[in-house]
Amino acid sequence: MIERIIIIDNADPVNFYGVNNANMQLIRNLFPKLRIAARGSVIKVIGEDSETAEFERKIKELEEYASHRNNLTEEVILDIIKGDAPKELKKDNVIIYGINGKPIQGRTPNQQKLVETFAENDLTFALGPAGTGKTYVAIALAVRALKNKEIRRIILSRPAVEAGEKLGFLPGDMKDKIDPYLQPLYDALEDMIPAVKLKEYMESKVIQIAPLAFMRGRTLSDAIIVLDEAQNTTTHQIKMFLTRLGMNAKMIITGDVTQIDLPRSTQSGLIQALKVLKDVPGIGKVEFGKKDIVRHALVQRIVEAYEKADNEREKEAREHAPSHPDQDRS
């Protein structure tokens, strides 16, 4: 008799063991000659050498599937342990599988274009209105790279304009003040990574979420870095951010140039960067439009209504603008 200890370190234990340990009970029934105990991320098995070796191999196959799909069903367990390939429904354009196996994919042509542009470039700009999924897809691409072990960490950032982007806070105070502005990034991650695993990634700094000011002085290697709401960076901030790129790293910068919250006297760093870098090789750009909005159908109509109002206001301002003195001479 031999004892083997197997560590489940890639899949979420809750998904792996199933509700009320139903998956683990099924596995026990399929290996009746073995004594199996599971606790947390550790599985102990006692039995003949050849049988425990086969058990370990099957557990690792199940773990790989559960890690990739964020889900593990009884049908899949039966298929893998019997030596059959799990029956897969073909899902085009799937980036990763989110919580409970939900496929996260490019739902519009421009979302799919972002996936392709990211693959071809080390720096990608994703521009467009709110609700087009540009940030969500960017984070999904980063999570996929982490799961595939292409990188060692994910760094997500956005300028906290309302919080002042000051460095003078103590760490605890800073977190309390900045977290509300970073919440959309947390929300996306919670859709893609099981809660236990996400907490582990955050505590070990495999995934870091920080205000833009905290990028200063760092070189970001073996990472995917996502800068959200980049239209609210100053020219100095975005230059500082762009020069953080290290070896085996990629950046995605998202923003909406029509929603700038900076003071009127301050130029948007995103607008300047797009002009300065337009001919630099290795940089891609994807522009989203109203047709890419994937929120409630009403959101698209709201965006269109505001766009119409802005155009009418600009037209009215031009019509009432004082004429040039030279034009008044006849």
The CATH number of whichever domain residue 259 belongs to comes to 3.40.50.300
The pLDDT of residue 27 is 93
- Kindly state whether residue 185 falls inside one of the protein's structural domains: yes
Mean pLDDT of 161-179: 53
- Kindly state whether residue 327 falls inside one of the protein's structural domains: no
135 with 265, same domain: the answer is yes
Q: What dihedral do alpha carbons 126, 259, 271, 160 form, nearest 10°? A: -90
Domain count, the chain: 2
Q: Which residue has the higher pLDDT, 176 or 68?
A: 68
Q: Which residue has the higher pLDDT, 238 or 167?
A: 238
The answer to which of 110-114, 197-201, 267-271, 294-298 has the lowest mean pLDDT is 294-298
Which residue matches tokens 């950046």?
251
- pLDDT class for 324, splitting at 50, 70, 90? low
Which residue matches tokens 């354009």?
93
Distances (CA, A) of 238 to 41, 216, 229: 42, 11, 11
Which residue matches tokens 């994937």?
294
Q: Is the pLDDT of residue 165 over 80?
A: no
- Kindly state whether residue 161 falls inside one of the protein's structural domains: yes
Q: Is the pLDDT of residue 171 over 60?
A: no
Q: What dihedral do alpha carbons 166, 168, 170, 173 form, nearest 10°? A: -40
290 with 184, same domain: the answer is yes
- pLDDT class for 166, splitting at 50, 70, 90? very low
Mean pLDDT of 214-237: 90
- Kindly state whether residue 217 falls inside one of the protein's structural domains: yes
Residues in the chain: 330
109 with 73, same domain: the answer is no
- pLDDT class for 330, splitting at 50, 70, 90? very low
Q: What is the pTM of this model?
A: 0.74
User: Position 302: which residue type?
Assistant: I
Q: Is the pLDDT of residue 298 over 60?
A: yes
Domain that holds residue 34: 2-81
The pLDDT of residue 170 is 41
Mean pLDDT of 19-45: 92
Query: What's the chain's average pLDDT?
Result: 85
32 with 160, same domain: the answer is no
Pairing of strands 249-255, 35-39: unpaired
Is 269 strand, coil or helix?
helix
- In degrees, rounded to 5, the angle at the alpha carbon of residue 108 between the alpha carbons of residues 102 and 111 is 85
What strands, in cross-sheet order, belong to the sheet with 35-39? 2-7, 42-47, 35-39
Q: Which residue has the higher pLDDT, 13 or 3?
A: 3
- pLDDT class for 326, splitting at 50, 70, 90? low
Q: Is the pLDDT of residue 147 over 60?
A: yes
pLDDT in tens, 95-138: 998 887 788 888 889 999 999 999 999 999 999 988 899 999 99
Mean pLDDT of 53-71: 90
